[in-house]
């Protein structure tokens, strides 16, 4: 059970991460703007954009949690996707124009299984033209809308798990667990091409981002309701809980003072990691103060990257 954090119009919202179940038709920016309005202008950001047509987990960063976005975007992600075989579109998903239709009834179970297996593991993926990836400072989607195709470099991605959950005619429901930077619509288009019939992403639901699961997610309407009755605080993840996978270093009172001013520290006797790592720094009372980096091979101090509290708040 997540500890309750009171949220009221008078006191504002506590710092933390809220798991939103984004509905189709909303942009990620729409969700941020709506929740910011509900919370009376509190600082709100998000970690990991979802396309408007996609649904599912969108982590919202509230207050000081906006400072930890870079540590969340690298998490692996899990999706439920539907691949429609036999139709190729210009956007690689159902929002685009169909470029080609091919009869897909000849794709049998064994061929499908073999193709699914081929796409598991480290690989290269070409970012789609309809994406926010920038080439020479210009988003690719702007070039695509102008009818231009831009030369772009492949990216390294990892498909950790890929399985076909169901087959309904030409529609294949897939479970995908992947690294950051993976385009599921490109995966679907590539699978369709490998199968020789083409394909596109028909629908997409993000089920998980790191430890943040759709089972704990709220729609924007549910957020508004829980805010009104004063229970939204129960659904916030604290910064410490969100970052609990990072190694922990507990500092002394004197070291804490240096940490809060961004100064590097060399905790005596601490050997919490054996390789270069990002670490959490907490004081003796268990309060999360900052995030730093430490390289045991260099035998240097812990360098402070992000201070997460104000000095005044600890007095």
* Residue 51 designated active-site: yes
- Residue tagged 């804490």 (tokens): 256
Distance, CA of 74 to CA of 209 (rounded, Å): 9
Q: Do residues 281 and 259 lie in contact, with contact meaning Cβ atoms separated by under 8 Å? A: yes
Distance, CA of 201 to CA of 173 (rounded, Å): 10
Distance, CA of 147 to CA of 246 (rounded, Å): 45
Q: Do residues 76 and 163 lie in contact, with contact meaning Cβ atoms separated by under 8 Å? A: no
Q: How far is CA 157 from the centre of its chain?
A: 15
Of the residues 51, 93, 190, 283, only one is catalytic, namely 51
Interhelix angle for 109-118 vs 184-194, to 10°? 130
Known catalytic residues are: 51
């Amino acid at each position: 059970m997540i500890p309750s954090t009171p949220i009221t119009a008078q006191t504002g919202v506590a710092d933390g991460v809220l798991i939103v179940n984004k509905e189709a038709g909303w942009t990620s920016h729409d969700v941020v703007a709506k929740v910011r309005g509900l919370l009376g202008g509190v600082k709100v950001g998000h970690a990991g954009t979802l396309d408007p047509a996609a649904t599912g987990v969108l982590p919202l960063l509230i207050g000081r949690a906006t400072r930890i976005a870079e540590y969340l975007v690298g998490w692996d992600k899990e999706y439920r996707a539907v691949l429609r075989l036999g139709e190729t579109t210009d956007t690689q998903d159902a929002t685009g124009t169909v470029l080609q239709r091919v009869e897909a009834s000849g794709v049998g179970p064994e061929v499908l299984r073999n193709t699914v297996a081929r796409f598991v593991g480290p690989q290269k993926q070409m970012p789609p033209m309809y994406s926010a990836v920038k080439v020479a400072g210009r988003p690719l989607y702007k070039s695509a809308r102008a009818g231009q195709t831009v030369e772009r470099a492949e990216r390294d991605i990892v498909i950790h798990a890929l399985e076909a959950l169901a087959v309904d005619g030409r529609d294949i429901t897939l479970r995908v667990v992947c690294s950051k930077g993976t385009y599921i619509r490109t995966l679907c288009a590539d699978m369709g091409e490998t199968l020789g019939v083409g394909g596109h992403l028909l629908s997409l639901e993000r089920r998980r981002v790191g430890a943040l699961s759709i089972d704990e997610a709220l729609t924007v309407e549910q957020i508004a309701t829980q805010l009104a009755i004063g229970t939204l605080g129960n659904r916030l993840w604290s910064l410490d809980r969100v970052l609990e996978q990072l190694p922990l270093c507990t500092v002394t009172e004197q070291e804490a003072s240096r940490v809060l001013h961004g100064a590097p520290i060399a905790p005596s006797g601490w050997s919490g990691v054996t390789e270069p790592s990002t670490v959490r720094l907490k004081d003796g009372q268990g309060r999360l103060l900052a995030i730093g980096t430490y390289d045991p091979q260099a035998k240097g101090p812990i360098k402070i990257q992000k201070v997460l509290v104000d000095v005044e708040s600890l007095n």
